[in-house]
Amino acid sequence: MLGINYSTVIDPFLRGVRRFIPEFGGIKPGERVLDVCSGSGAQVGEYRRRGILGFGLDLSPDMLSLSRRLYDPAPPAASYFTEADARHLPFTDASFDYTSTTLALHDKPAQTRMEILAEMKRVVKPEGYILIADYTCPLPASFPGWVIRTIERIAGDDHYRNFRHYLKNGGVPALLEKLDIKTEDTQSISYGLLTVTKAKIS
């Protein structure tokens, strides 16, 4: 049920974001990209549609089943999608030109956010990039901002606690600074609710 709700409710809202990310990132056909916490697989599907070698990773078997059904015609042994913990990516160092993640940091505990980003950094080649789309910090004091805060509260106590910690502690810019990852460019989208960040790995 979660997978069905995600693909029918969340993905349509993010459709424009999915298209924007590879354009903003400057990802070229043939480059390798790992989408971390890939959910329904929609971002990987967008990469593949553009000739980009997109791969997805998620811990949820239900979401991976949905991903494979919607976006991956290959048999499981050759799947674009991997079941694994984002804190421990099952890939060697410098395996990808890019890593990306969308709305997958704000809901995690502080230490988990750091561990995920550290792993995303590890598997990117030197001079490669991390692309992150997550809530703008601070969120705009607008009706859309109020809607997001309400949705995050409804999502549950732990989720909302992590969301508040994320905003209070500076969001994505603060996380990247702690890991000594240099931000190259940012773009506010979706009525200012989301910021897409492009960070370069030296």
Domain that holds residue 54: 2-200
Name the band, by pLDDT with cuts 50, 70 and 90, for residue 1: very low
As for how many domains the chain has, the answer is: 1
Task: Judge whether 157 and 107 are in contact, CB under 8 Å.
Answer: no
How many other β-carbons are positioned within 10 Å of the β-carbon of residue 84?
A: 15
> ∠32-81-171 over CA atoms, to 5°?
70
Q: Per-residue pLDDT tens for 94-139?
A: 999 999 999 999 999 999 999 999 999 999 999 999 999 999 999 9
Backbone angles phi, psi at 9, to 5 degrees: -110, -50
Is the pLDDT assigned to residue 182 strictly greater than 90? yes
For tokens 């200012």, the residue is 192
Residue 127 to residue 111: CA distance in whole angstroms:
26
Q: Residue 19 in contact with residue 48, Cβ under 8 Å?
A: no
pLDDT of 5-18, one tens digit each? 555 556 677 889 99
CATH of the domain at 153: 3.40.50.150
Q: Please, how many CA atoms are within 13 Å of residue 112, restricted to the half-sphere of its CB? A: 14
pLDDT for 51-98, tens place per residue? 999 999 999 999 999 999 999 877 666 689 999 999 999 999 999 999
What is the torsional sign of CA 30, 92, 112, 61? positive
